[in-house]
Amino acid sequence: MEHHHWPGTDVSVSPICLGTAAFGATVAKDQAFALLDRFWQAGGNVIDTARAYAIWIPGGEGISEQIVGEWMHDRHTAHDMVVVTKGGHPAWEQMDRPRLQPDAIISDCEASLKALQLERISVYLVHRDDPSRPVGEILETLETLVKMGKVHWYGCSNWSPERMQEAMEYARAEHLQGLSCNQAMWSLAQLDPSALSDPTMEWVDEAMVAFHQKHRLPLMAYSAQAEAVFSRVEHQGWTALPQALQEKYDRPVNRALFNQIRDLSHASGYSVTTLALASLWSMTQWFCLPVFSTHRLDRLDSVIEGAQVRLNEDELTRIWRTLLDH
């Protein structure tokens, strides 16, 4: 896979990031190792994990990081990989109670370093926001981690555009490193945010698009394949989708976008999933790194094979016109 510079850092990364949220939960260790091997051997070099992944199963906190750390140690790949992890997530049974006090951020980071078997984390993100806490306090804590040599770059996940704007202004005024990226839920298939069960998650809506267009802050898009909804529609049709997916994605804009992607798929031979991801990594308005998760090697292979695909300006313009028209 061809690598591209991550703006605001000194690293170059593959066009896709391998997501590991299911590692240790629905993806066993040997299966995870196989996925990581295939991704790395194909030139993939950026991994997304988090302290809270698999927190929903007993004893699951940190298991994703632990598996990634064991794989890097076993394969001697730590120097090859850009590891993105996250901390400061609320306790699973207390999602309404933020955990961004300084000692929580620092202790989570130290636990992540131990699990990942790293001396320094490439990119460290706070997993949720606490709007009641001054943004300067959060940034100063992250800056402390940089000064301690535990973190190279930092950013946020599931923050509103308003809070990111405030963070950028504070960092500029105080001469801090500042945010290196935002991680939010986004895909070509446009989600109905009212169908989300977790109100602490942030979807890339019109306000966030405007924010990224203005500031060009790199975006890591999680759930980038939108639960493979376009692939499901291609094989089953819209009416055969499970009710939950219909509520999230059966919208006029997505029907129009699917028709465009299906036509591109027929013309190019690439899968609709690959082309939907390519619409994100081909963006020129700002740097976008889609996070792709799967438990199947054949699906990973399909995306890897299409990783060299870059939609041209005409194709991207038509997609954005469809988005704006709806």
Instruction: Kindly list the domain boundaries of the chain, sorted by start residue.
Output: 4-228+279-312
Q: How far apart are CA 325 and CA 129, in angstroms?
A: 32
pLDDT of residue 94: 86
pLDDT of residue 88: 96
In CATH, which superfamily holds the domain spanning 4-228+279-312? Answer: NADP-dependent oxidoreductase domain (3.20.20.100)
pLDDT tens per residue across all 326 residues of the chain: 999 999 999 999 999 999 999 999 999 999 999 999 999 999 999 999 999 999 888 888 999 999 999 999 999 999 999 999 999 999 888 888 999 999 999 999 999 999 999 999 999 999 999 999 999 999 999 999 999 999 999 999 999 999 999 999 999 999 999 999 999 999 999 999 888 888 899 999 999 999 999 999 999 999 999 999 999 999 999 999 999 999 999 999 999 999 999 999 999 999 999 999 999 999 999 999 999 999 999 999 999 999 999 999 999 999 999 988 87
Catalytic residues: 53
Cα dihedral 89, 93, 96, 101 sign: negative
Per-residue CA distances from 220 to 16, 182, 203, 291 (Å): 10, 6, 12, 7
Please, is 312 exposed, middle or buried when counting C-beta atoms within 10 Å of its C-beta (0-12, 13-18, 19+)? exposed
Three-class secondary structure of residue 159 per DSSP:
coil
In the numeric block, the tokens 């939609």 are attached to 311
Confidence (pTM): 0.95
Measure CA 28 to chain center: 21
